[in-house]
């Protein structure tokens, strides 16, 4: 079945450590890619998105993601995490269907990141 996979369900890091969260999707054709973050008790917020162009996308709060088409991946990175990055991170995809486009967001299962001070 077509899906969005996030391999790490729970990640624990110390402050200043580097972060990489994996995201793979199984849809063919053109896709729009997103990373959303949900801080404790808050709503989902857009971190960054990729539609086209430079496959290395920079988002808010020092996050970036790289789209590798050949690997169907869109991994999220941050060189040095802070305690305030503790949150749940969701990768999401809008796949384009043959014969038309859809604006339906398909979410991955999420990765819970805990940063220890």
Partner 1 sequence: GAVVSQHPSWVICKSGTSVKIECRSLDFQATTMFWYRQFPKQSLMLMATSNEGSKATYEQGVEKDKFLINHASLTLSTLTVTSAHPEDSSFYICSAERGVGTDTQYFGPGTRLTVL
CA distance 110 to 8: 8
Q: Are residues 85 and 79 in contact, defined by beta-carbon separation less than 8 angstroms? A: no
- Nearest distance in Å: CB 52, partner 1: 11
Residue 10 tokens read as: 């729970």
Told to check if 59 binds partner 1 by CB under 8 A, we report: no
In this chain, which stretch among 15-23, 45-53, 55-63, 79-87 interacts with partner 1, using CB under 8 A? 45-53
With CB under 8 A as the rule, give the number of residues binding partner 1. Answer: 20
52 near partner 1 (CB under 8 A)? no
The token duo for 25 is 């999707």
We find the least distance from the C-beta atom of residue 94 to partner 1, in angstroms, to be 5
Residue matched to tokens 């999420």: 110
22 alpha carbon, distance to own chain's centre: 7
Out of 76, 106, 113, 115, the residue judged to bind partner 1 by CB under 8 A: 106
> Token pair for residue 34?
């997103």
The token pair that represents 90 in the structure block: 């969701």
Considering beta carbons, is residue 51 or 83 the nearer one to partner 1? 51
Residue numbers at the binding site for partner 1 (CB under 8 A): 32, 34, 36, 42-46, 49, 51, 90, 94, 103-110
């Amino acid at each position: 079945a077509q899906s969005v996979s996030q391999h790490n369900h729970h990640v624990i890091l110390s402050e200043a450590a580097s972060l990489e969260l994996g995201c793979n999707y199984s849809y063919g054709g053109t896709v729009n890619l997103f990373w959303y973050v949900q801080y404790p008790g808050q709503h989902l917020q857009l971190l960054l998105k990729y539609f086209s162009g430079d496959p290395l996308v920079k988002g808010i709060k020092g996050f970036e993601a790289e789209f590798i088409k050949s690997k169907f991946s869109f991994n999220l990175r941050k060189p040095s995490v802070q305690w305030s990055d503790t949150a749940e991170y969701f990768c999401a995809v809008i796949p384009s269907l043959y014969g038309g486009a859809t604006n339906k967001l398909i979410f991955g299962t999420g990765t819970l990141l805990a940063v220890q001070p």
